[in-house]
Structures are given as C-alpha cells and as structure tokens.
C-alpha cells in the first residue's frame, strides 16, 4: 500500500468512526427518552479504482440506520393519558403549525412510538416531543380529553383501540377509536427529531389498524438503547478512531520525510 493510500484510508476510517461516535452519543443521551430507537452505524469497504488485477481496499464508507424493529420495554407510569404499543405500529401524529392559543395541523403526517401523551391547555393529547395524537389518518383534529373540573381520572383502551375515559366525577367519556399506522419495511422511514418519522419515496404505503398490536394506557415504551451497551460501543469506537488518527499522523510524517529527501 502506498503512503497516499494509507493516508486516504485512515482519513475515511476516522470520518466513519466520527459518525459512529456521533450516533452513539445521541443514543446515550436518549436512553431515558420514551419510544426512542437507537441509531446504528453500518460500515462497508470501498474498492479503489485499479487496472486489471487485484482490487485493494479503498477505505470505508459509513451510513446510519434506525433500529425501528426492536421494541423497548413497556413501563407503567401512572399517567392515565400515556400510551404504550406492544407489537408493530406507530401512533399517527402531527405538529402544531399554528400557535398555542389557535393550533392548526396542516403539516405532514408523522409516525412515532413515543407515547408520553398529556393534554395541553385545549385538551389535545401531545407527547413530550410536541407532536399531537390523531385517532386516524383522516382525522382533522387531535384526540381530545376533558380538562378543568372533568379532568380524566383514568383512561382505558379496548382490544379494538376504543379510548374510554373516566372523568373526575365518575362519568364515562368515549374518546373515539385509535388506530395505528403499520409499515412492512420500517427501516425506509425518514427520521425527524423527537423519535418521529415520516414516509418517503422508498417506504411502503402504511396500513391502518392494530393488526395484532395492543395498546396499554398508563404506560410508555422505553428507549431500546442500553446505556451499558452504548458505552461499550463508545470505547471500541474511540479506540478505532485513535488507531486511524495514528496511521494518518504516521503516513503524513513519512510523506514529509520523503519530500524533504528530494528538497
């Protein structure tokens, strides 16, 4: 391998490990975020362009993927409006494109597993990332729960997705039927902030319904990021990054020495 090849390979290696460190730090920061899915880094060898003969390595390419198919554990929260999904599916959510006093929901439809929903001042259910829960794809307004004197004391979800609240005065309040969006190929979804995703040209058209999934009120799905696993990956990645920088420094010094010989 030439000095230039060694330098180029070490630079691409350090860049790839830098991306991995960025993903790992994000995973560590979100180990306590409801519904968070870890971001993994994938590496692939690049082949250098050569004439006929053997094909030496030409560095490394890296990209990221979200572990959308790996579910976190459900944890009871005691908050009646929190919702957790067991099985395949995403809550249908939208962002508020208006104001807090006059909310509007004209933006794109998004999908999330983050179910730490709580009522805002208007009684709309909104999660910790600021996305509002919609009962289905054709719903024009978010799911609403009673506020004020009739604040919910309890919330239940039937096997068919029917939301029923029990108000503080003991009265029963039907809140509609909640459906989930389900994708056959989840990894093609585009990630937004707050554990939220949108469909794109590569993702399949979602189907709607529970289709074997269950909803649990008073619970949320925990992050699927393990703090111990992520710290182990960070140590390994830091060592790989350091090794690449050492190769880079050595190759650079050898090139400087070679140049000085002919100066």
Q: What is the pLDDT of residues 200-256, one digit of tens each?
A: 877 778 899 998 899 998 899 998 888 888 889 889 889 988 888 888 788 778 778
Specify the pairing of strand 219-221 against strand 91-95.
unpaired
Q: Say if residue 33 is in the same domain as residue 155.
A: no
Distance between CA atoms of 247 and 153, rounded to whole angstroms?
63
Taken in order 239, 187, 201, 103, the sign of the CA dihedral is negative
Q: Say if residue 171 is in the same domain as residue 239.
A: no
Q: Say if residue 58 is in the same domain as residue 90.
A: no
Q: Say if residue 194 is in the same domain as residue 80.
A: yes
Instruction: Give residue 257's pLDDT band: very low, low, confident or very high (50, 70, 90).
Output: confident
Q: Say if residue 78 is in the same domain as residue 187.
A: yes
Domain count, the chain: 2
Q: Say if residue 156 is in the same domain as residue 169.
A: yes
Q: Say if residue 23 is in the same domain as residue 57.
A: yes
Measured from the Cβ of residue 196, the count of other Cβ atoms closer than 10 Å reads 24
Q: Say if residue 16 is in the same domain as residue 79.
A: no
Q: Say if residue 229 is in the same domain as residue 162.
A: no
Q: Say if residue 83 is in the same domain as residue 184.
A: yes
Distance between CA atoms of 106 and 16, rounded to whole angstroms?
38
Tokens standing for residue 14: 């350090």
Q: Say if residue 142 is in the same domain as residue 30.
A: no
Burial of 224 (0-12, 13-18, 19+ CB in 10 A): buried
Please state the rounded mean pLDDT for residues 31-56: 70
Q: Say if residue 121 is in the same domain as residue 242.
A: no
Q: Is the pLDDT of residue 183 over 80?
A: yes
- What residues make up the domain containing 16? 3-68+225-261
SS3 76: strand
E strand residue ranges, 158-261: 162-167, 172-177, 181-182, 190-191, 196-198, 207-208, 214-217, 219-221
Tokens standing for residue 187: 């990894």
């Amino acid at each position: 391998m030439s000095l230039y090849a060694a330098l180029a390979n070490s630079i691409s290696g350090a860049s790839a490990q830098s991306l991995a460190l960025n993903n790992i730090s994000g995973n560590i920061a979100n180990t306590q975020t409801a519904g968070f899915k870890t971001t993994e880094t994938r590496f692939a060898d690049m082949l250098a362009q050569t004439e006929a003969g053997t094909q030496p390595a030409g560095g490394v390419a890296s990209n990221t993927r979200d572990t959308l198919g790996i579910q976190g554990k459900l944890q009871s929260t005691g908050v009646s409006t929190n919702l957790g999904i067991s099985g395949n599916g995403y809550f249908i959510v939208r962002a508020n494109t208006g104001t807090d006093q006059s909310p509007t929901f004209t933006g794109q439809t998004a999908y999330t597993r983050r179910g730490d929903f709580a009522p805002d001042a208007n009684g709309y259910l909104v999660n910790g990332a600021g996305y509002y829960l919609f009962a289905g794809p054709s719903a024009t307004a978010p799911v609403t729960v009673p506020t004020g004197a009739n604040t919910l004391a309890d919330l239940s979800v039937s096997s068919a997705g029917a939301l029923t609240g029990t108000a503080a005065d003991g009265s029963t309040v039907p809140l509609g039927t909640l459906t989930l969006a389900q994708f056959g190929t989840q990894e093609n979804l585009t990630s937004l902030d707050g554990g939220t995703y949108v469909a794109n040209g590569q993702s399949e058209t979602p189907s709607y319904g529970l289709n074997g999934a269950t909803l649990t009120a008073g619970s949320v799905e925990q992050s699927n990021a393990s703090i111990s696993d992520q710290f182990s990956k960070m140590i390994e990645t830091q060592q790989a990054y350091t090794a690449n920088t050492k190769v880079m420094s050595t190759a650079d010094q050898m090139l400087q020495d070679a140049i000085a010989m002919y100066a």
